Structure 1
Amino acid sequence: MGLRLPIPDKKRRGKMFDIIVLIFILLVAVLFLFPTVVTIANSFMTSNEITANYGAMFSNMTEKQKTFISSNVNLKLIPDKVTFDQYKAVLIQNSDYLIKFWNSVILTVPITVFQMLVAILTSYGFSRYPNKFKGIIFFAYIILMIMPYQVTLVPNFLVADKFGMLETRKAIILPAIFSPFSIFLLTKVMRRIPISYVEAAKLDGAGEFKILTKIYVPLCKGAIASIAMLVFIDYWNMVEQPLVLMKESTYHPLSVFLSQINTGDIGLAFAVGTVYMIPTILMFLYGEDYLVEGITYSGGIKG
């Protein structure tokens, strides 16, 4: 009999590959979550402890001295003494932070709600009604979507100035409502809904509004929720628009105000940063299933 070479165990190799992938995912997760963990942990430290750990980085020193000290920063994740003084200052003693927080809410919630309403109606039109100009209009949406926001910021400024909307929230909210991003994504999803569903609904006497609300919206609820989450997070973190369109700091959201916190109040910055993250974290925890469903939905319906 001839000599047989050992055949590699495919199952074992597959298991090793899964372990390597898992380790890689864990490393990436730690890399992305570490700043968040540091922010939350340091927000419960006393001012003296924070100053002892990081204060030298922001003191009046030369760049060479700061570089040397920064390399020896005492990065801690467990406070010596847990305190809520920073949160007391943010939520009770200084009303500016809460005002900026609610400014963020007042800007972001209407943008998200009305942008999704416009996206649902527009996407339904793109997916349902044949028109020789539909392809051109949709292509224009794609061009607008891939443009950096900074390209359209100046035209938006000129239009807002022309209509007397500068220094008001309308200068930010109105252009954002008609963003092409959500329309593009939702149109792609709605086009995958089988036409047989619509024909069956019409046989039962359903009109366009009923078809939209009883067929398209329920079938696309995962995609709608996931897109709404992305829109909310995007505008919750906006900085350029308020700085350009609303120079009066009274209406600035917390995202702008965060960069203006005095570096002498490092502990305060950690607490404000933690409060700032709460809405997006809660939204993700609540809508995680919808987000996953929305991401995988495009392949879920077959005509």
Structure 2
Amino acid sequence: MKAAENFLAGSGTKLKSLVKYIIMLCISAALLFPVVYMLANSFMSSSEVMENYSAVSGAAVEEGRTPGITFSLIPEKVSFMQYYNVLLRKPRFLFMFWNSVIVTLPIMLGQIAVATMAAYAFAKLKFPFSDKIFYIYIIVMMMPYQVTLVPNYIILDRTSLIGSYWSIILPGIFSTFGVFLLRQFMINIPDDYCEAAKIDGAGYWKSLTSILLPQCKGAIASLAILVFIDNWNMVEQPLVFLKDETMHPLSIFLSRINSEDVGIAFACGILYMFPTLLIFLYGENYFIEGIELSGIK
């Protein structure tokens, strides 16, 4: 009887695991399909891409054909023409790619520097109203960006920064999210480390750089990845703060590709995704560690 119960219990556990893995596999496939589809179409010829695109976009109805899902994930003939057109015949792509770099890297580095010092103050220093100020940080962090868009525009306009890269970089550097993330990490580090350093004659800066930062590599890597991805994909800020279209980042360029250049759009999408993918793969272990230890679920 016991053996039968154990067998049924084991079968139930295996069935639950199987169902869980099937669900995870279906979700993963649904999330990866757009990327695989984009990658496959980037290696197709322009005519093949347009044929697939018209089949799923409704253009077939306009052409008198029966619409249907007839696209293929395997190119009839592998072609690098889309990448050739993007990299060598479309200099605007590289120009706007550089615009994205100009905006994203300073925001990432600046936010790490500012957030590290602010998080240290909130986590390890005692000063009046520190908790209340931090609660204000949390409230600001929970606000949608659109709520602060108008106040930011007014301030930037009065400081004559509208139309320059600084109108995007400065608000991005002083973000509340980085302070929250690093503070949650530092607050879990025992105060005894800083007290021992203080006894040895170390000041605030020495305690931060020699004691806390080496233990915060995971959280800093997590912040770097999240900030880079967030600002690499920005759309609203450039449209509002930058008047000159030649200063727009690549995210704006991709949104303006028309249906006649849909093949180039797939190649641009792959190239646009490449930097974020490299950064995530390089810092994946630090990213997971930082998210787990920072208390963000």
Corresponding residue for residue 137 of structure 1: 133
CA positional deviation for 1:58: 6.0
Alpha-carbon separation, structure 1, partners of 2:66 and 2:284: 37
Alpha-carbon separation, structure 1, partners of 2:223 and 2:66: 40
Identity of aligned pairs, percent? 49
The amino acid of 1:41's aligned partner reads A
TM-score, normalised on structure 1?
A: 0.91
1:33 is the counterpart of 2:29 = no
Alpha-carbon separation, structure 1, partners of 2:3 and 2:81: 70
CA positional deviation for 1:130: 1.2
| TM-superposition CA deviations, 1:122-144 (whole Å, max 9, x none) | 00000111123111211111111
The amino acid of 2:276's aligned partner reads T
Structure 1 segment 16-165 matched on structure 2, within 5 A: 16-55=15-54, 65=61, 72-165=68-161
Match of 1:222 among 194, 218, 222: 218
Alpha-carbon separation, structure 1, partners of 2:238 and 2:66: 32
Relative to structure 2, which stretch is displaced further, 97-106 or 7-16?
7-16
| TM-superposition CA deviations, 1:116-170 (whole Å, max 9, x none) | 1000000000011112311121111111100000111111111111111111100
Quickly say closer, same or farther: Cα 1:102–1:47, change in 2 above 3 A.
Answer: same
CA positional deviation for 1:7: 2.1
Match of 1:172 among 168, 186, 204: 168
Corresponding residue for residue 13 of structure 1: 12
Structure 1 segment 128-277 matched on structure 2, within 5 A: 128-277=124-273
Aligned with 2:264: secondary structure?
helix
CA positional deviation for 1:207: 2.2
- The answer (yes or no) to whether the contact 2:58–2:67 under 8 Å persists in 1 is no
Aligned with 2:259: secondary structure?
coil
State the Cα RMSD in Å: 2.1
Quickly say closer, same or farther: Cα 1:289–1:98, change in 2 above 3 A.
Answer: same
Aligned residues: 293
- The answer (yes or no) to whether the contact 1:112–1:228 under 8 Å persists in 2 is yes
CA positional deviation for 1:21: 1.7
The amino acid of 1:21's aligned partner reads K
Structure 2 runs not aligned, ≥5 long: none
Quickly say closer, same or farther: Cα 1:247–1:16, change in 2 above 3 A.
Answer: same
Alpha-carbon separation, structure 1, partners of 2:223 and 2:237: 21
Alpha-carbon separation, structure 2, partners of 1:163 and 1:152: 17
Quickly say closer, same or farther: Cα 1:57–1:265, change in 2 above 3 A.
Answer: farther
- The answer (yes or no) to whether the contact 2:55–2:71 under 8 Å persists in 1 is no
Alpha-carbon separation, structure 2, partners of 1:250 and 1:5: 74
1:283 is the counterpart of 2:282 = no
Quickly say closer, same or farther: Cα 1:166–1:47, change in 2 above 3 A.
Answer: same
Structure 1 runs not aligned, ≥5 long: none
CA positional deviation for 1:69: 6.8
The amino acid of 2:13's aligned partner reads G
TM-score, normalised on structure 2?
A: 0.93
Relative to structure 2, which stretch is displaced further, 172-181 or 196-205?
196-205
- The answer (yes or no) to whether the contact 1:239–1:256 under 8 Å persists in 2 is yes
| TM-superposition CA deviations, 1:214-255 (whole Å, max 9, x none) | 211111110110111011101111100000011211110010
